[in-house]
A and B are shown apart, each in its own frame.
Chain A
């Protein structure tokens, strides 16, 4: 006899995280049918992974509000974020852990949708969830649902990636429009009532795109996913890490008109706004065109563009050649980028 999830079977209750029958029911009925695979199915205390050679290992926690937003949800985000962190290090993402922290009262339908997304995104990214954990905290002690994912992937041989490898003349590329994730989430959070928009998050697993790039342009010098801190955060780090001056050309940075509009309305600079499906790549000048072709040949890179170059001046700064021909410094944003008020 299976224990009832709650009187109506609709919501998470504390006992779902208690490690007893109800936990087992939740795993058996909700989690395993979606995520089961030979490495997870034994449900032992650890997953046993067949590795050979050096691996990359990363972890990230996801606390996005709202849990569901145009273009994705916290589940898709949790898989993509960790997959992308592995991929930009030159690893082939393979295995993920999934830690769920549920708030008492969470609608089980929401949890099912989130887990559906985890499963679909993992499938697309070619990764498996191989170990996991579920905890429930009392109402008010969390905000619906938090997720932690860790990931492991085998490192590709023969790569050397890092800002310090960048040289004058190198080209900066990005695989598409910036700021879509941050603005889509912001608009959803603001109720979306004041600004009508069809903006959607760009959240996407980039393992395939990055894999293609590294295979066809192994001379790639630097890769970084432009998440929190946006494109500005990445290029400021790149400039500082390389020691050279980096110039971005504002005209060539892809921004959707709706995203630009939303950013202006809410007082954000798109350069500082988070992405969840964008990678900045630096390649030597002679490989610029090939890298661009590779990115554009991929579903997540159709709008890829060369957005700037590494210069010769050794000042470790990044500046933006603006759309009207002015110049100004690009810096890493400071913490929370606060909305303007007038």
Chain B
């Protein structure tokens, strides 16, 4: 084959799935059971569904979506605090678009906006800072959610506001950390996962070596892969090979982008502005040191302090199994609300609200299986 004969994506995928089929056959011939791998990033989840990766998976391998959608894991108490703020005179809420429809005990930001709250969708934290600079009479609050990928941007926004002397900019911080979540999952005896497909974005920030404890202490294979469908399938193939070989290693298939060490600039930004704190995850409860709190010296930029807000309790909707879905203990189809009471138009659980949520992805891209499952 000459250099000009690069395989098409379909040919490349066919080779990967054939190789995976061989590995799985060998595994089963040796008496092995179903291989379950978890992707722990919402971007992987969306990419897998959009490109139809699930439909290409050989029998005997299953890809489970973990708690990697930042909207899905944002606790109800946090949404309630946002809505409380939005209803206050003179407050402008700035948020990423995905948060608009997530419901708290008192409705959603979309509903609050329709009732007159000043809620504005931004695509970057700096946009929120610019709004604060342009409208000094408004109290501008930025809803800071996301993992290590978005935390540096929030940190940069806080530092920019500090440098520019903006007294009307605050953040309501609900950033989460990926590793504590993975470790909590692994501590759960009900978890049945044979390895993790680790996210590219987050790994750029925290460095590949961050997963070392998961591999060494828990014996779980970890493979860092890019977001493209072929890269994901290659990652799954490597995970399967490790399991079949009885290994648990850390593999980085994305070395051009993900280094072994943390990205120093981004980590420095996070450390200047945040410190680890206990954090409430939707449907998973409070996990120790799994979130990021603003440092005490930056209290003037902390919406909790400025507006004297105490986060309440969570009251998750009855019947909703999002917590089990994002820990891989059940599939959306197993939930009695899925596709009936809970749809993307009328979402009940957070996994149905977000475009990165497992339930919404299932509903959008695999509904034909749901119909089969329902016998229709």
What residues make up the interface of A, taking CB atoms closer than 8 Å to B?
190, 194, 251, 266-267, 269, 315, 317, 319-320, 322-329, 331, 334-342
Query: Does B355 contact A194, Cβ atoms closer than 8 Å?
Result: no
A266–B145 Cα distance when bound, in Å, is: 17
| Number of B residues with CB within 8 Å of any CB on chain A | 47
Chain B residues in 8 Å Cβ range of A340: 42-43, 46, 98, 355-356
Query: Does B368 contact A319, Cβ atoms closer than 8 Å?
Result: yes
Name B149's closest neighbour in chain A (CB-CB): A342
Q: Jot down 17 A-B pairs with beta carbons below 8 A, ordered by A.
A: A324-B51, A324-B229, A326-B55, A326-B229, A328-B49, A328-B51, A328-B54, A328-B55, A329-B364, A331-B364, A337-B355, A339-B123, A341-B71, A341-B145, A342-B43, A342-B150, A342-B356
By secondary structure, the B interface counts as: helix
Query: Does B10 contact A325, Cβ atoms closer than 8 Å?
Result: yes
Counting CB contacts under 8 A, is B317 at the interface? no
A331–B42 Cα distance when bound, in Å, is: 20
Q: Mark B2-42, 1 if CB is under 8 A from A, else 0.
A: 00000001101110000000000000000000000000011
Cβ distance A259 to chain B, nearest Cβ, rounded Å: 16
Query: Does A315 contact B368, Cβ atoms closer than 8 Å?
Result: yes
Query: Does B355 contact A267, Cβ atoms closer than 8 Å?
Result: yes
Query: Does A322 contact B356, Cβ atoms closer than 8 Å?
Result: no
Residue among A190, A328, A336 with most chain B CB within 10 A: A328
Counting CB contacts under 8 A, is B169 at the interface? no
Chain A residues in 8 Å Cβ range of B46: 340
A7–B236 Cα distance when bound, in Å, is: 70
Give which listed residue, A317, A324, A338, contacts B355 with CB less than 8 A: A338
A324–B10 Cα distance when bound, in Å, is: 4
Query: Does B201 contact A342, Cβ atoms closer than 8 Å?
Result: yes
Query: Does A342 contact B70, Cβ atoms closer than 8 Å?
Result: yes
Known interface pairs A194-B124, A336-B97; A326-B51 also in contact (CB < 8 Å): yes
Query: Does A339 contact B96, Cβ atoms closer than 8 Å?
Result: yes
In the complex, given contacts A328-B52, A342-B149, what are 16 additional A-B residue pairs having Cβ atoms less than 8 angstroms apart?
A: A194-B124, A267-B355, A320-B52, A322-B51, A324-B51, A326-B13, A327-B55, A328-B49, A328-B55, A329-B364, A331-B367, A338-B98, A339-B97, A339-B98, A339-B123, A340-B42
Chain A residues in 8 Å Cβ range of B355: 267, 337-338, 340
A334–B357 Cα distance when bound, in Å, is: 14
Give which listed residue, A194, A326, A336, contacts B56 with CB less than 8 A: A326
Q: Mark B91-108, 1 if CB is under 8 A from A, else 0.
A: 000001111110000000
Chain B residues in 8 Å Cβ range of A342: 41-43, 70, 146-147, 149-150, 201, 356
Query: Does A341 contact B344, Cβ atoms closer than 8 Å?
Result: no
Name B14's closest neighbour in chain A (CB-CB): A325
Cβ distance A141 to chain B, nearest Cβ, rounded Å: 16
Chain A residues in 8 Å Cβ range of B56: 324-326
Name B227's closest neighbour in chain A (CB-CB): A264
Cβ distance B174 to chain A, nearest Cβ, rounded Å: 12
Query: Does A322 contact B229, Cβ atoms closer than 8 Å?
Result: yes
Chain A residues in 8 Å Cβ range of B13: 324-326
Query: Does B52 contact A341, Cβ atoms closer than 8 Å?
Result: no
Counting CB contacts under 8 A, is B215 at the interface? no
Give which listed residue, A190, A317, A323, A337, contacts B123 with CB less than 8 A: A190
What residues make up the interface of B, taking CB atoms closer than 8 Å to A?
9-10, 12-14, 41-43, 46, 49-56, 70-71, 96-101, 121, 123-124, 145-147, 149-150, 201, 229-230, 233, 344-345, 355-356, 364-368, 371
A326–B233 Cα distance when bound, in Å, is: 11
Chain B residues in 8 Å Cβ range of A327: 52, 55
A153–B42 Cα distance when bound, in Å, is: 48
Chain B residues in 8 Å Cβ range of A335: 345
A160–B124 Cα distance when bound, in Å, is: 49
Chain B residues in 8 Å Cβ range of A269: 50
Known interface pairs A315-B368, A334-B344, A340-B43; A266-B55 also in contact (CB < 8 Å): no
Known interface pairs A319-B368, A326-B56; A341-B70 also in contact (CB < 8 Å): yes
Chain B residues in 8 Å Cβ range of A194: 124
By secondary structure, the A interface counts as: loop
Cβ distance B50 to chain A, nearest Cβ, rounded Å: 6
A95–B28 Cα distance when bound, in Å, is: 70
Cβ distance A188 to chain B, nearest Cβ, rounded Å: 13
Cβ distance A142 to chain B, nearest Cβ, rounded Å: 18
Cβ distance B121 to chain A, nearest Cβ, rounded Å: 8
Residue among A331, A340, A341 with most chain B CB within 10 A: A341
A322–B54 Cα distance when bound, in Å, is: 12
Cβ distance A224 to chain B, nearest Cβ, rounded Å: 21
Cβ distance B364 to chain A, nearest Cβ, rounded Å: 6
Residue among A267, A326, A334, A339 with most chain B CB within 10 A: A326
Known interface pairs A331-B364, A338-B98, A339-B123; A324-B230 also in contact (CB < 8 Å): yes
Cβ distance A208 to chain B, nearest Cβ, rounded Å: 35
Chain A residues in 8 Å Cβ range of B121: 338-339
Query: Does B123 contact A324, Cβ atoms closer than 8 Å?
Result: no
Query: Does A317 contact B146, Cβ atoms closer than 8 Å?
Result: no
Cβ distance A260 to chain B, nearest Cβ, rounded Å: 12
A64–B270 Cα distance when bound, in Å, is: 38
Known interface pairs A319-B368, A338-B355; A328-B97 also in contact (CB < 8 Å): no
Chain A residues in 8 Å Cβ range of B123: 190, 266, 339
Chain B residues in 8 Å Cβ range of A251: 10
Chain B residues in 8 Å Cβ range of A337: 355
Query: Does B365 contact A328, Cβ atoms closer than 8 Å?
Result: yes
Cβ distance B47 to chain A, nearest Cβ, rounded Å: 10
Name A341's closest neighbour in chain B (CB-CB): B96
Cβ distance A87 to chain B, nearest Cβ, rounded Å: 31
Chain B residues in 8 Å Cβ range of A338: 97-98, 100-101, 121, 355
A2–B42 Cα distance when bound, in Å, is: 63
A339–B46 Cα distance when bound, in Å, is: 12
Chain B residues in 8 Å Cβ range of A319: 368
A206–B367 Cα distance when bound, in Å, is: 34
State the 9 A-B residue pairs at the shortest beta-carbon distance, nearest first.
Answer: A326-B52, A338-B97, A341-B96, A324-B13, A328-B365, A325-B10, A328-B52, A322-B52, A324-B229
Query: Does A324 contact B52, Cβ atoms closer than 8 Å?
Result: yes
Query: Does A329 contact B10, Cβ atoms closer than 8 Å?
Result: no
A331–B370 Cα distance when bound, in Å, is: 14
Query: Does A323 contact B149, Cβ atoms closer than 8 Å?
Result: no
A323–B14 Cα distance when bound, in Å, is: 12
Chain A residues in 8 Å Cβ range of B9: 323-325
A320–B364 Cα distance when bound, in Å, is: 12
Query: Does A341 contact B98, Cβ atoms closer than 8 Å?
Result: yes
Cβ distance A132 to chain B, nearest Cβ, rounded Å: 32
